[in-house]
A and B are shown apart, each in its own frame.
Chain A
């Protein structure tokens, strides 16, 4: 069973000359966490909103849980739940008001709604603030209300458009736990995020889009292979000669006076000696999704030839 089966989907907004989504085809397996990555304006929200029956595609077909998202939207809507990008809770309503009433609107009985609301508010740690009007809550807590509303339902497919934006590190982990719980109950998720650690932590499959087109996709392991080396070394730029560094691998300017060299274990010792000789701080770690993303976007790369293979 596929959660989403998009074939040749294109979206041109009426006021735009360029398509926001260009001929995208992708399949989201049910029971999996599928993540869309891409720079601002890449078309993530546009794609998500078309799948979630909020926006009509200009062409192509999208089938969601076996139903056509355009012609059978009613069936789709019974089975999905969303966290919109940049949503806000209603000012005068409390977290409890939002989740408890929303569950009843979606068809739960009072008692079921009460139980589910309590569980979700506790899971996201906003139970303590359950009776405070949203206008008196912090930005992150407001965001959690929207996440709680979507995740307390028993929809089959969840659309999360940047769900952890503005959340502190602890809160983000609470949302991650909720997402994993959702998946363990057999639910499917289409996630967008700008946090690469989040994508790395959660995703079963990742699609990277740019200017409305898919430019890379795969599991995390597969995407990591986009960068030929497996180790990265960060060194303060200082007086170092970039050409010397290039002989160890690809060099990326990460800004703030730092350089990053993608290389192999074999070169780590030499690089650390180099750094120590120049009395520069350095760190060694494995290549992350963040590197892959920046690498694919082609930003900041000083040299992408691999001098030492």
Chain B
């Protein structure tokens, strides 16, 4: 038996290995598809704006991709639960729900790795290498929050039919409506508090900040971190307490 305190870490890595690495090794083509999709909006915005809009497009695409991985996690979890009964096996075992979730989220991240690397490289290219720690922190925060949200939502996606509806709704709320792809400046004053209430707004602002785009005067990095950490904790709590593990 390995040291008990390290077992959850080992479990996370093994779950990610089984559902991510092994899967990819046998279906390498799927990596191509997941790698390409985050660039569609980037491409459109780049072309339409004649290249001017590239910073917002990069920030928005990165945030949207991470939202997408969280939602895909939710879909995978509900699929594993209903179609494979994998979750049944995990529930009736020493694996905790959080371990299960993080393992699968890690595997989701693995699928997104090529796109993430390209987008992150673009951020660093427009910003500087010194901002890499901030960039990594931004990515991890939003990835964690979205994964927890995805796990929570998985309970509401148990039927594949409303899964797609839930996914597109949340995607609109988190990645389309708030200033993720566009500047806070164009947001009417009355709507600003609303925009600040959405975690993805802050993720995008951080990325814009890293790339040297002026951010609103009433926003700061600390503010962005505070809101995002609050959401991360809230979503994890939601996932831990409200996501379907043991059914009732």
| Residues in chain A near residue B84, CB distance under 8 A | 87-90
> Is A66 part of the contact surface with B, judged by Cβ < 8 Å?
no
> Is B92 part of the contact surface with A, judged by Cβ < 8 Å?
yes
Interface residues on B, range: 20 to 34
Across the interface, A88 reaches (CB within 8 A) one of B27, B83, B248, namely B83
Is chain B's binding surface mostly helix, strand, loop or mixed? helix
**A 103-140 to B, binary, CB cutoff 8 A, 1 in contact else 0:** 01111110000000000000000000000010000000
Contact A54 B92 (CB under 8 A): yes
Across the interface, B94 reaches (CB within 8 A) one of A52, A78, A87, A93, namely A78
Across the interface, B246 reaches (CB within 8 A) one of A56, A89, A102, A150, namely A56
Contact A55 B85 (CB under 8 A): no
**A 192-203 to B, binary, CB cutoff 8 A, 1 in contact else 0:** 000000000000
Contact B88 A107 (CB under 8 A): no
Complex formed: what's the CA distance from A90 to B17 in Å?
13
**B 1-20 to A, binary, CB cutoff 8 A, 1 in contact else 0:** 11000010011001101110
Interface centre among B7, B11, B17, B246 (most CB of A within 10 A): B246
* CB-CB nearest in chain A for B94: A78
Across the interface, B1 reaches (CB within 8 A) one of A55, A85, A97, A109, namely A109
Number of interface residues of A (CB under 8 A): 36
**Shortest distance between the CB of A136 and any CB in chain B (Å):** 11
Contact B18 A101 (CB under 8 A): yes
* CB-CB nearest in chain A for B99: A105
Known: A54-B246, A81-B92, A89-B84. 19 other contacts (CB 8 A): A54-B91, A56-B247, A77-B91, A78-B94, A81-B93, A88-B84, A90-B86, A93-B18, A93-B23, A97-B22, A101-B18, A104-B14, A105-B14, A105-B93, A105-B95, A106-B93, A107-B1, A108-B1, A149-B89
Give 6 A-B contacts (CB < 8 Å), ordered by A residue: A77-B92, A81-B93, A82-B93, A97-B18, A105-B11, A109-B2
